[in-house]
């Protein structure tokens, strides 16, 4: 199946990785596909408001756990330089602090093992996978630049 095609099951597969198999950078992703992990995590945990209700009157039943994971993953992505600063400026990667944030998510995974819903467990696994892969790619890129 080609990139972006739908199968008969209705699922759509889109490769959002910013790097090709050989380690070279792929062409720029469309704006609607950038920061896929953060967008997915935010979608899962962001409260939704009812049509005729004042803001904040209705909140989707999302756990505080999902909000925590979303917060930590967004922080890690910012520390990795994957999210632009408030004015849209590029923020350089802060690898030691990004590693600490990913490690914190790993501690959270270890300490909550067996106590999470399937949805929460899957969210944490997905976020950790995306952050680990991004971390490794940025490390490789920095190593190539320093040679």
Helix 118-146 / helix 36-45 crossing angle, nearest 10 deg: 160
Residue 58 has what pLDDT? 42
Residue 135 has what pLDDT? 96
Domain definitions of the chain by residue range: 37-146
Nearest by Cα to 124 from 82, 76, 92: 76
Best-predicted range by mean pLDDT (8-12, 21-25, 118-122): 118-122
Residue 117, pLDDT > 90, answer yes
Dihedral angle of Cα 66, 120, 17, 91, to the nearest 10 degrees: 20
Question: What letter does residue 117 receive in the DSSP assignment?
Answer: -
Can you give the length of the chain in residues? 147
Q: Which residue has the higher pLDDT, 77 or 23?
A: 77
* Averaged pLDDT of the chain: 77
Banded pLDDT at 57 (limits 50, 70, 90): very low
Neighbours of 57 (CB within 10 A): 9
DSSP letter string, 47-106: ----TTS-TTS------HHHHHHHHHHHHHHHHTT-S--TTSPPPPP-HHHHHHHHHHHH
Q: Please answer whether residues 142 and 134 qualify as being in contact, where contact means their C-beta atoms are separated by less than 8 angstroms.
A: no
DSSP letter string, 4-26: T-B-TTS-B-----SB-TTSPBP
């Amino acid at each position: 199946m080609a990139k972006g095609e739908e199968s008969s099951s209705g699922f759509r597969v889109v490769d959002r990785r910013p790097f090709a198999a050989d380690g070279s950078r792929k062409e720029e992703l469309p704006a609607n596909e950038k920061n896929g992990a953060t967008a997915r995590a935010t979608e899962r945990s962001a409260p939704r408001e009812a049509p005729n209700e004042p803001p904040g009157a209705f909140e989707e039943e999302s756990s505080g756990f999902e909000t925590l994971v979303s917060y930590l993953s967004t922080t890690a992505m910012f520390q990795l330089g994957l999210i632009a600063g408030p004015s849209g400026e590029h923020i350089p990667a802060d690898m030691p602090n990004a590693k600490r944030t990913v490690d914190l998510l790993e501690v959270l995974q270890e300490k909550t093992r067996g106590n999470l819903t399937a949805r929460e467990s899957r969210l944490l696994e997905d976020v950790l996978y995306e952050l680990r892969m991004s971390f490794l790619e940025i490390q490789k890129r920095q190593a190539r630049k320093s040679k």
